Structure 1
């Protein structure tokens, strides 16, 4: 899986790209869309005929400055940060500083996604990131925060996602998309006080791209003491999906979930059998296991156990293939590079 298309919606609002300077596009009402602010992955466009610089493109900060001048930002509810100037070699610190400097002009902002960057701009594994928690601290009324992250090395410095523990009283939804999520980020999320959080979605990824999380790192989340309102838990896109499934089977948080998502990873019969052998899952509204490596007998066992209780089950394999005839297949996650 790669990111070839931009986000279509955020916070229940359709995404709308704030237009380039030369594009005379009528603007929607400020509170009816999620505004995508995106710059250029390259600072200069080259004249194709003679190979000379044509013009310097607007960077992210310049586009955002124009956005603030042309839109009534006091009514903006959702913002999507697209490509900053060079996500391969630069983290989004300057874009974050611009957002924080404008915080008083964004009193209605409730949703923010950092890094809607498609594959032609930068692969997810190479998106430079930084400590993103200043955005949460700076916008205490945010209800929905998401980030797409990889890891990059520039001038000898590793630029990767950081998420030190914090308290945020309004946040209801937290999403971290990665092909390799560092364990210290998982530990930071688990140590955070998020009393309003209802929806947590972590893409854990693989060790090849920095995903060094273990089940032990997930324990604070699985206990759920700091997440009293959590109802939707997604621990997915992981190469340790079997171990996570086994831990979920006895985790205290499981009994109060409505949606459990263990999709996009390397789930096999071993993990699914451990999940079914633990505490009952018939209270769930949905169990999402799409992209799995399950045999047909195990898939049918899941259906027979949960569907009569009214649980919606997603067992779509996608392009994942199960083990067959006692042999083995190479298991892989949906999103890595």
Structure 2
């Protein structure tokens, strides 16, 4: 199952495709949209490769006015990692002086399954743009994120079917004093999602990211273990919203949340795509909704059973 869709906005700006609008000759103001730059490597008519399109983009719009960039397809996704794209972004730092948001690898399923997207060390983008406020990445294969310090970053998110534990540990070692929103699709071990609860420990400590108000630890095959850790995590007290959605959360994980620290200060608890029973869903609503907490319990999934040996299968929302 996949939820890969092209972004429609970034930094609160609508996403437009540079190739489409430049072909029509009706360019919007550079600072009024988020610019999507990508190529179709299967274009039978030939045309620009990514570097050529990127350089045409910088020569066509006012680069100093660009506030948000969405990177689309840059080549065959399983043969070419994002290293060249990262280098091109870094190389444009003196021209993209107003850049505040980047999303890397805005590929739909028809372009590449999320597990096919080959990433690289993406932290040079943060180092090159100290004023960057939002940074998102799709695809976990080959992804690296060593610890960095960044004073301005407010939103950081990873959409993967398998987020390497090394990346989780790297984020946990970062110094991000402005960070308000952190979202991680942890995925499954079959696709590189090998992070355990111990890797999440620095993220769950209170005060690690003092301005953090939203935490998403999602799409995990160990969602019950994560819920149990979150139930006593100091960071929860500073949050306004918490997402443990998209994974294989069962009644055991929900019970840990109910018997752990109070969650009534939250504005929202997102548990959509789960494996909870009707009685447990009712208990969650009765415990939290009277206090004003929005509880998302949509997408209640049914486990699959192997009739031969009685094995029960539960699936995360995004893997391959």
Task: Look up the match of 1:330.
Answer: 313
- SS in structure 2 of the partner of residue 236 of structure 1: strand
For residues 35 and 92 of structure 2, what CA distance do their matches in structure 1 show?
15
Task: Look up the match of 1:80.
Answer: 70
Deviation at 1:171, TM superposition (A): 0.4
| Residues 1:187 and 2:169 aligned together | yes
Task: Look up the match of 2:302.
Answer: 321
Distance 1:207 1:4, change over 3 A: closer
Task: Look up the match of 2:9.
Answer: 9
Offset from partner CA, 1:48-107 (integer Å, 9 cap, x none): xxxxxxx43311111111111110111111100000112111111111111111111111
Task: Look up the match of 1:115.
Answer: 105
Task: Look up the match of 1:155.
Answer: none
Check conservation: 1:295, 1:323, Cα contact below 8 A.
Answer: no
Check conservation: 1:4, 1:120, Cα contact below 8 A.
Answer: no
What number of residue pairs does the alignment pair up? 316
Distance 1:322 1:306, change over 3 A: farther
Unaligned runs of 5+ in 1: 46-54, 152-159
Q: Give 2:238's match in structure 1, choosing from 244, 248, 256.
A: 256
Check conservation: 1:295, 1:322, Cα contact below 8 A.
Answer: no
- SS in structure 1 of the partner of residue 70 of structure 2: strand
For residues 317 and 15 of structure 2, what CA distance do their matches in structure 1 show?
24
For residues 266 and 201 of structure 1, what CA distance do their matches in structure 2 show?
17
Task: Look up the match of 1:309.
Answer: 291
Deviation at 1:323, TM superposition (A): 8.8
- SS in structure 2 of the partner of residue 23 of structure 1: helix
- SS in structure 2 of the partner of residue 147 of structure 1: strand
Check conservation: 1:294, 1:322, Cα contact below 8 A.
Answer: no
Task: Look up the match of 1:273.
Answer: 255
**Matching of residues 41-52 of structure 1 within 5 Å:** 41-42=41-42, 45=44
| Residues 1:127 and 2:124 aligned together | no
Task: Look up the match of 1:156.
Answer: none
Check conservation: 1:141, 1:171, Cα contact below 8 A.
Answer: yes
For residues 269 and 178 of structure 1, what CA distance do their matches in structure 2 show?
25
- SS in structure 2 of the partner of residue 104 of structure 1: coil
Pairwise CA RMSD of aligned residues?
A: 1.7
Q: 4+ residue stretches of structure 1 with deviation over 4 A?
A: none
Deviation at 1:328, TM superposition (A): 7.4
**Matching of residues 1-337 of structure 1 within 5 Å:** 1-3=1-3, 5-19=5-19, 23-42=23-42, 45=44, 55-151=45-141, 160-317=142-299, 320-321=301-302, 329-337=312-320
